[in-house]
Amino acid sequence: MLPPAMTDAAILERWEALRGVRVARAILEEAWGASLVLTGAEGPLAHQRGGVLRAASPVCRTALFTREGFARCDAFYRRAAGAGDPLRCHLGLGALAEPVHGSDGRVLGRVVASGFGEGPETPARPELARALCDLGPPVEPAEATDAVRRLPIVDARMRRPVRALLRAAAAEIAAHEADRRARRGDAPGLWGMVGRSPQMEAVFELLPRLAESDATALVLGESGTGKELVARALHEHGRRSEAPFVAQNCAAMTDELLESTLFGHVRGAFSGAVQRSEGLFGAADGGTLFLDEVGDMSPALQVKLLRVLQDGSYLPVGATSPRRADVRVVAATHKDLTAAVRDGRFRQDLYYRLHVLPVELPPLRDRVGDVRLLVEHFLAEREGGPPRVSDAAWECLERYRWPGNVRELRAEVMRWQLTAGDAPEVGPEHLGAAIREAGGYASLAGNSAALAAARGEATLAEAVESLERAIIERGLERTGGNRTQLARELDISRTTLADRLKRYGLE
């Protein structure tokens, strides 16, 4: 599966800007008429505008004009992303590829030269023209013949300089990515935030720029995605890191109490105000104030917040003269502020003050590849408990939707210290019921044979019998013992069901 196009575009922009890549592409196109395509680990990288493939070869350009040709070319580059060379495309044209290795040994992608003939190995030219026409309209026979006539040839003598170009471009990309990773640290993530999914890589790309800035920041994401962690990271890696970091949840208080908490009050401003309070803006002077769930703030308080963002001044409750504070505000919300503005629940001018360069944190269900990294990170943080997670448990963890996001995952890992105890590894039986069910192990609790099968400690026949019995037991409960209905649901005959009931002692 390809990463999201926006992330592809960011990677492609970085790689295509490198001098070695630009030089290699120019030489390949001018000297040999061959194409240079950059792939990720799973397929061709997409431009932000939606384009994926560029072609120098006239045959390739002609093929890409057709829907079938584009689909086949895309499939070829997906295959090339995970394979060595020599390669042949769907038309039989040649290709050479050099891998781009990350500092951890992973293949980040490949630099591919393609779209050329290889002398005698190239399909006969009439056959190639017919293959082009077979891709469908709008390819006409005359157009196909002309494209094949101009097909570039890269024979055995030319492969060495072509490969040298690809190797140089791949080495420069690898060095560039290693330098970026070194600046972020050795962990797969940034500033204590773990992840290597394309979505999180896009976040990690943005945060250093935001940290260097003093502009108001807005962090968007569902509950549990790590919005406060991002806010703290921006503070700790910015110029205000030696000053206070103060956090407040705007949804946790009444309007009156939140106003007093944020802006302070004078003595006697209201019943119980026995002494002056500087408020959180005063407490955060010189530092950062994190306002979580800013989308829940009332219209009246939105006006007061807007004033602070505009000129740094605010009026404490009961005061007659304003105070000033030099504070960087990092706001966060799980709500759709665009819809709130449209519905009149959130001020448009405040929205534009906050929405300068938003950080959008993806839900954990959209970054499944990070689940394993996060679990291993949380396990490394604590002492005791099982050192490993079984394959069956990983399957459950990666299939579960995680409505509570990273916060829920962390709590689940913490539970294992109690549920797994001295077990050598975490199995499905140690997971929460909903997580077990996501992996298809809902009926494993108390079913020792099925658990053993899930851990690879039972034969296939034992596993099948155990799970079959569990399915029938649940079906009997669900249908109230109606065997006809259960047989229909399981798509088996009543005779077969009766045989299973007798075998498992469920009559």
Instruction: Among 198-207, 211-220, 327-336, 468-477, name the one with the lowest average pLDDT.
Output: 468-477
Same domain (yes/no): 156, 173: yes
The verdict on residue 161 lying in a domain is yes
Among 360, 389, 409, which residue terminates a domain?
A: 360
170 in the same domain as 29:
yes
Residues 308, 370, single domain; the answer is no
Same domain, 66 and 174: yes
Least confident of 410-419, 441-450, 492-501: 441-450
Give the structural domain span for 390: 366-458
Q: Has residue 109 been placed in a domain?
A: yes
Pick the last residue of a domain from 296, 326, 360.
360
Would 188 be classed as within a structural domain?
no
Q: Are residues 145 and 213 in the same domain?
A: no
Query: What would the pLDDT profile of 57-98 be if each residue is shown by its tens digit?
Result: 666 666 666 777 677 777 777 776 666 555 667 666 777 888
CATH code of residue 473: 1.10.10.60
Asked whether 337 and 351 are in contact (CB, 8 A), the reply is yes
Domain boundary among 341, 360, 379: 360
Q: What is the pLDDT of residues 97-145, one digit of tens each?
A: 888 888 767 788 888 887 777 665 555 566 666 665 666 666 667 766 6
Predicted local confidence at residue 7, as pLDDT: 46
What is the number of domains present in the chain? Answer: 4
Question: d(Cα 449, Cα 457) in Å, to the nearest integer?
Answer: 9
Instruction: Give the residue carrying structure tokens 């001020």.
Output: 347
Peptide bond into 141 cis (omega under 30): no
Q: Residues in the chain, how many?
A: 507
Q: What percent of the chain has pLDDT over 70?
A: 74
DSSP 398: H
Secondary structure string (H, E, C) spanning 203-234: HHHHHHHHHHCCCCEEEECCCCCCHHHHHHHH
Q: Does pTM surpass 0.85?
A: no
- Average predicted confidence (pLDDT) for the chain: 80
Domain match, 392 and 347 both? no
Is residue 198 in some structural domain? yes
pLDDT of 407 > 60? The answer is: yes
- Which pLDDT score is estimated for 36? 86
CA Rg value for the chain: 30
The amino acid at residue 47 is: H
Could you tell me if 290 and 308 lie in one domain? yes
51-65, 153-167, 182-196, 311-325: which has the highest mean pLDDT? 311-325
Q: Is the domain of 136 the same as that of 231?
A: no
pLDDT-based confidence at residue 319 (cuts at 50, 70, 90): confident
Average pLDDT over residues 194-211: 90
Q: Is residue 44 domain-resident?
A: yes
Residue 328 binned pLDDT confidence (cut-offs 50, 70, 90) = very high
Within a domain: 230: yes
Is 189 a residue whose pLDDT tops 90? no
Q: Which of 240-244, 320-324, 477-481 has the lowest mean pLDDT?
A: 477-481
Q: Which residues contact 320 (CB under 8 A, 6 or more apart)?
A: none
Tell whether 189 is covered by a domain.
no
264-313, pLDDT tens digit by residue? 888 877 777 768 788 899 999 999 999 999 999 999 999 999 999 999 98
pLDDT at 225: 93
Tell whether the model's pLDDT for residue 353 goes beyond 90: yes
* Residues 442 and 466 reside in one and the same domain: no
Average pLDDT for 225-230: 93
Predicted pLDDT of residue 2: 29
The mean pLDDT of 314-324, rounded to a whole number, is 86
Domain for residue 187, yes or no? no
Q: From start to end of 227-348, where are the E strands?
A: 245-249, 288-292, 313-314, 323-324, 328-333
Are residues 328 and 418 part of one domain?
Answer: no
- In this structure, the answer to whether residues 111 and 211 fall within a common structural domain is no
More reliable by pLDDT, 80 or 56: 80
| pLDDT attached to residue 83 | 60
State the pLDDT confidence band at 475, using cuts at 50, 70 and 90. Answer: confident
Q: Are 177 and 249 in a shared domain?
A: no
| 45 vs 35: CA distance, rounded Å | 14
